[in-house]
Structure 1
């Protein structure tokens, strides 16, 4: 298994909410704004600001089938991207509470 895949899986496993993001991405910003608005504790990694970002992005495709960012996990479950998260807005407080992120 690649080091990037191990790192990605460790981030997903170690954080109740994990957001794989890029600092300049408007959809990533919308995702983090929604989580901040909800008062969620989450871990975000900016793939454009880490040396192995491209490799992590490739690994995410192997893990979830999604390569695009934001790539969001709550309680180790792949949620999808920003539009998927926004669509779950009504369920989000419960999801975040169950994950221990509120």
Structure 2
């Protein structure tokens, strides 16, 4: 079930963030996206009964078990630190606009 849900959300949203509401790295990633006025969808795993199953599948999918897991056009760009670095370098907006 988690696999279908994750795959669907990644496919349907240009920018998809799998997050936990209390996680500072998740906050960093969401802030970086907000600063470039990106449209993105967030799924807060700590507020879902299937959150751990989703996180387990994300780990298999991306090789990283931590949150956030940020996807741009179906590709995982990493977590909070990577998202912030991409935003600061100007590459994040290009990835989202598919200019890169």
Please give the TM-score of this superposition, normalised by the length of structure 2.
0.92
Kindly indicate whether residue 93 of structure 2 is the aligned counterpart of residue 93 of structure 1: yes
Q: Distance in 1 between matches of 2:82 and 2:52?
A: 23
Displacement after TM superposition at 1:96 (Å): 1.5
For structure 1, the residue ranges without an aligned partner over 5 or more in a row are: none
For structure 2, the residue ranges without an aligned partner over 5 or more in a row are: none
Q: Number of paired residues?
A: 97
Q: Which has the higher helix share?
A: 2
In structure 1, the residue matched to 2:49 is 51
Moved over 6 A (4+): none
Calculate the aligned-residue CA RMSD, in Å.
Answer: 1.2
Please give the TM-score of this superposition, normalised by the length of structure 1.
0.90
Helix, strand or coil for the counterpart of 1:30?
helix
